[in-house]
Copies of this chain bind each other. A is one copy, B any other.
């Protein structure tokens, strides 16, 4: 039995698994699996060095199914290769099965979630770059659909990988011509893809994606390349079953039981007795997971000193970078604003300039963290909205990511609304298992950055452009889910719950109200998620009124978070169309400055 016969047989076995599993599930994308069968078979049963028993180790080749809807064929390959039991295949899409409709890393062999198209290549960059950083000589293979080639994120990744010259990265597009609702942009014009990709400093190969000999030849060439390699594989959707081949309207539709029988009858005769000796996998030994350390940071600020929280964040990064050799920092050409520049200057070898391509930066970070790196990245808070889909998918990838958004709120002033992060608290609160931190001064900014370093999951830090006075002693301890009561007296008439820049407005309001013999409680709610529920409840009970004040839209922000506890806060937030102007005037206009707080307190107290 030739290797080609062996791989062809394996491909047809994968087809059968994919058809049976989706028909049993009653949903799924069998025809998208069928076009990929020879590609997946060639990779899993010949090309890739993977140790099925130690797939968690990083000295394996990697496979990313960017076209995540072809999940059944990935599961079939993992079963055939011995990673999961074959019986599992038929649990596809069941409530209790980790074989979900689209891959998520509940399953060994899946490091990242896919299914939102166009993200796999950028995560592949992260993994390929991670292997280079670790000095591990293995490759990353990313299988894309042709439909997703229209996604800008794919071109960001093509551009970036070409620039980095990532020679251990191979992308394959399964050019099966048909998208969900009709033909793709370039159908079977392989040259349309090839020309475009080649212009970005990739080696590009066009081949028949159902011819395993051609595939083997091309894969062999990619290993000798000094550039990243892209294979445009001409395929047929539904390949292998006559009544499904190249038929529009069969995307995401399983076969009926009758169709399944016909399909099995067509495919089965092509399956030979396997007498070919399958390859011996090389044992993988390098663990991906780095043992967690609890870092702590010492600060050295003077009370009242004016320091921007973003600047303090930069200092903390530098301190953490000295302690943690697995820490990597990414930037999207704003390092001098977010202050990741400190880290970039001290640790260039662990810094990666991703240029102005936020989506790619996020997915690259997701890829990097799969290989045990502690990844921090930052941008203006508003520009993180550019990558909300990637961030959302990072949560389903169970990623460990440390994200900072700077220039939050209208307090940036003159640059205007396009540069104001006014929805970031809502965006990061919406992520499963995320934490959201918001420092008001330099001490808390450094300490919260340290808490992010120690947290496993997605953590978000919101920093501010203007300098704010230091209000915390260097010895102050902060915790995830904590808060600080800055002012408290026995007969407080109300509680102001502030965070970040508004904390200082609350303190100013306190001083002025005191002159009128009104004392108020001030809470710095630096942990927006999780909230310090006990302290907030107590304050509401003891003072009768909570007033939240935030430099963020009302929707999804601090006020709504506290309202959802049933605490009935009066919510001061950004509610008018933002525009350019001096920060103080903008804050006054939105009623989130000291005067706005005083007005609200007096209104409430009557």
Interface residues in chain A, defined as those with a beta carbon under 8 Å from any beta carbon in chain B = 25-28, 68, 93-97, 100-102, 104, 106, 113-118, 147-148, 150-156, 159-160, 163, 179-182, 184-185, 195-196, 198-200, 331, 333-337, 341, 353, 355-357, 359-360, 382-383, 385-386, 388-389, 392-393, 396, 413-419, 422-423, 426-427, 429-430, 432-433, 529, 553-556, 559-561, 563-564, 566, 568-569, 571, 577-582, 585-586, 589
Contacts and interface: CB of A to CB of B under 8 A. Distances in A.
A116 B407 CA distance: 13
Contacts of A333: 147, 179-182, 184
A151 B101 contact: no
A392 B396 contact: no
A558 B553 CA distance: 16
Contacts of A28: 414
A450 B541 CA distance: 46
A151 B196 contact: no
Contacts of A334: 180-181
A555 B385 contact: no
A386 B553 CA distance: 20
A94 B581 contact: yes
A88 B341 CA distance: 37
A115 B385 CA distance: 14
A426 B418 contact: no
4 cross-chain pairs, A with B, having the tightest CB-CB distances, nearest first: A152-B152, A115-B418, A95-B581, A556-B556
A352 to B, nearest CB: 13
A86 B462 CA distance: 39
Contacts of A392: 382, 385, 423
A115 B420 CA distance: 11
Nearest to A71: B416
A145 to B, nearest CB: 9
B385 A418 contact: no
Select the residue from A97, A154, A331, A556 with max chain B CB neighbours within 10 A.
Answer: A556
B383 A389 contact: yes
A430 B574 CA distance: 10
B586 A95 contact: yes
A201 B32 CA distance: 29
16 contacts: A93-B581, A94-B581, A102-B418, A104-B579, A106-B579, A147-B355, A151-B152, A152-B153, A152-B155, A180-B333, A181-B334, A382-B389, A385-B392, A429-B556, A430-B556, A529-B555
A560 B564 contact: yes
